[in-house]
Structure 1
């Protein structure tokens, strides 16, 4: 049986198969001889508790058993391994090298025969990305760069997608972009990420090593898929953690970027929330109630000898330190508060009063009316998640409308609203 696509994310943490092997070859500071390539292949094959060997065998069979011209194999393999940027090549023919490798990693019986699959939207989209990508140049730092674009690589990759498998084609496209250090526009990065998700690939397979032309950090933009800001931070403190101290845990949370967002965005969004509460008229007791409820009572800053505002100050300091490291040009600004749906948020807070209790309800109401309805609503969703409070169909529909208004990501909505609907 062919592997189901949803299995890839469970078996592998990043790239796998032939594209992973090509990445290892490209990362070598010196050209590898055949023994060196075989040693790398052993590591790739061992990934996923040995499932990497299956994927490596399938990839090799797809390339070698579909009558691809030698020049197609040569063009793609030298590009993804970086051999076209080296002063010397290995001296062996690409088909011969891959064939010898394939004898070590045969396709297991019943895994599925290689060859062109049916036409799919994914296949057409991969081909569109191949044709749109600037693959005609080698890396900017390479001495072999010319000013003339070369259509051979896009044509070869398109042929591979047409005649083998769109998944292999996408992985080889990504490996070529990484090896050649091509700068990818944010819009294209988003499309590549969506394609990876559609094919069931783990996120790092797309973004690890890919150069992205990130947009400037903007706290008003909603690029990420998950929760963000202080509401996201509370989830990091809602269970026992492996870091030695709460400050270590905080630094890890601040640095945990959403793959869809500009590096530093998580810290910038958290800093905005922290400043809003620090500069608000909310009492320390109100802030303490919010933090205690949203973390499920697991974390108490008072154990560190910190008042609630001291803790928020510590959070803000950690955010500024991370931003200074990853986005030194960023200057903090606090966006205007969006009050359009304040009454709608208040309605949901009051509807949840019987679940939350008086003190948490009053605390969230204070945030909504005196600080920021968006932050208040995110804290409400967080409290409902902690309490595992089920939603009626009517309330579910209203929550979806609010999430849409605040432009929350799909993962945020799924974890904060969809799960509660089905309880």
Structure 2
């Protein structure tokens, strides 16, 4: 049987299949009996309008068809359920329990909904490379997993071969089933996972189309010290990202609450608090610069496409920056109390390349108006404000805001221009999707 790979993130928000079932059993306040365990299985199967039964049935069938001995399956099952549900307590072995589930949730293909637009291709990840990758991650985590089991006292009751059982499932039954059971066991036994392994797990699960929370929710990640100079984030950040949030419809009732929400948007690869640290750094650089309140106001209104009219709300441009900095500090006190907000050195060596990029685009920018149908802002005012930021505050922030302005004004770009903008973004160390997310849609063939 070949697993029907999907973009699982389109169906599920978190875990599914046997991973979700073992999670439910592990979190039960009292040890479930058979009826309660079957009820949990029904809940997993009912997910996504009943399509959860597809993954549950596939996982079960892979284990049953693997030929693995009962003690191997039982070791992984007991570890994944935190020893909350042992079929042996109810007179059956693991194969018997899985057979009962298989009768309720037989393997079947997914129902194909009628669609009216092309869907993205399914993830293509050959089974053998997937199995090898999962086994490698299990082996990397095995020492910490053994320590966690021994420290919890489970080593006295669980088989000592839990890592080997996971390897056997991933290597001989199914890579995906083994991967999700492995992640479940890491979480339920609070096994510390280093940042490098976490990044590999995120990349691996992304390639098979898993939703991000399936990996990071509940995982004990050993984050690196908070450092806003790192560029683990794949997309935009700081003030430029905040302006983009306001450029689209937003439901937050107040500006403060909107900034507070943005300060929580750490990328899944980032140490918690990074989004706030980056916002604080951008706001502080502007506050420490000689830019006038009027210049800051013009800059914000242009980058946010008047998504938040601070001029109409009577908010001074510098007061707006102080609000952003204050809210960011509040967030940092909550999630990184030992971190002292800092403003790192300016990348002054890239000032001239950014000014040259702005100058080259100026003929297009000055002929356009931001928000032309409501309190329009001339493109010339936005360009002047951008140059002040680049020259007197920070070329990095200036470049990010320049990209935002190209987006706001829908400036058409040739493929050569776009390639040049990406190259400059790489010099700043931007994430892989930063420049594409902001301006790739503006590109046309030369």
Tell me the residue number matched to 1:37: 37
Tell me the residue number matched to 1:392: 414
Tell me the residue number matched to 2:19: 19
Which of 143, 146, 165 aligns to 1:136? It is 146
What are the residue-to-residue correspondences of 1:330-409 with 2, within 5 Å? 330-356=339-365, 357-409=379-431
CA contact (8 A) 1:23 1:175 kept: yes
Distance 1:156-1:139 versus aligned 2 partners, 3 A rule: closer
How many residues align structurally?
A: 416
- Give the whole-Å Cα distance in 2 for the aligned partners of 1:379 and 1:296: 12
- Give the whole-Å Cα distance in 2 for the aligned partners of 1:327 and 1:110: 44
CA contact (8 A) 2:263 2:276 kept: yes
- Give the whole-Å Cα distance in 2 for the aligned partners of 1:97 and 1:401: 56
Three-state SS of the structure 2 residue aligned to 1:124 is helix
CA contact (8 A) 1:85 1:142 kept: no
Tell me the residue number matched to 2:297: 288
What are the residue-to-residue correspondences of 1:58-69 with 2, within 5 Å? 58-69=58-69
Tell me the residue number matched to 2:373: none
Distance 1:262-1:140 versus aligned 2 partners, 3 A rule: farther
Distance 1:335-1:57 versus aligned 2 partners, 3 A rule: same
Q: What per-residue deviation string (whole Å, max 9, x for no partner) do you get for residues 185-220 of structure 1?
A: 001100000001111111111101100010111111
Three-state SS of the structure 2 residue aligned to 1:255 is coil
What are the residue-to-residue correspondences of 1:95-106 with 2, within 5 Å? 95-106=95-106
CA contact (8 A) 1:139 1:181 kept: no
Is 1:210 the counterpart of 2:219? The answer is: yes
Tell me the residue number matched to 1:298: 307
- Give the whole-Å Cα distance in 2 for the aligned partners of 1:210 and 1:416: 31
- Give the whole-Å Cα distance in 2 for the aligned partners of 1:89 and 1:302: 69
TM-score of the two chains, using structure 2 as the length reference: 0.87
CA contact (8 A) 2:134 2:178 kept: yes
Three-state SS of the structure 1 residue aligned to 2:388 is helix
- Give the whole-Å Cα distance in 2 for the aligned partners of 1:139 and 1:274: 46
Tell me the residue number matched to 2:371: none
Tell me the residue number matched to 2:49: 49
Tell me the residue number matched to 2:135: 127
Three-state SS of the structure 1 residue aligned to 2:193 is strand
Three-state SS of the structure 2 residue aligned to 1:96 is helix
Three-state SS of the structure 1 residue aligned to 2:206 is helix
Tell me the residue number matched to 2:229: 220
CA contact (8 A) 1:14 1:204 kept: yes
- Give the whole-Å Cα distance in 1 for the aligned partners of 2:290 and 2:90: 69
CA contact (8 A) 1:136 1:150 kept: no
- Give the whole-Å Cα distance in 1 for the aligned partners of 2:61 and 2:435: 41
State the superposition RMSD in angstroms.
2.5
Distance 1:118-1:333 versus aligned 2 partners, 3 A rule: closer
- Give the whole-Å Cα distance in 2 for the aligned partners of 1:55 and 1:245: 42
- Give the whole-Å Cα distance in 1 for the aligned partners of 2:209 and 2:89: 34
CA contact (8 A) 1:85 1:143 kept: no
What are the residue-to-residue correspondences of 1:87-236 with 2, within 5 Å? 92-108=92-108, 120-133=128-141, 134-138=144-148, 142-145=152-155, 152-236=161-245
CA contact (8 A) 2:280 2:325 kept: yes
Cα deviation for residue 37 of structure 1 reads: 1.5
Q: What per-residue deviation string (whole Å, max 9, x for no partner) do you get for residues 349-368 of structure 1?
A: 12222333211111111111
- Give the whole-Å Cα distance in 2 for the aligned partners of 1:166 and 1:217: 34
CA contact (8 A) 2:187 2:219 kept: yes
- Unpaired segments ≥5 residues, structure 1: 112-116
CA contact (8 A) 1:186 1:213 kept: yes
Is 1:259 the counterpart of 2:281? The answer is: no
Distance 1:3-1:395 versus aligned 2 partners, 3 A rule: farther
Q: What per-residue deviation string (whole Å, max 9, x for no partner) do you get for residues 298-339 of structure 1?
A: 211234432111111111111011111111000011100011
Cα deviation for residue 6 of structure 1 reads: 4.9
Cα deviation for residue 84 of structure 1 reads: 7.6
Cα deviation for residue 49 of structure 1 reads: 2.4
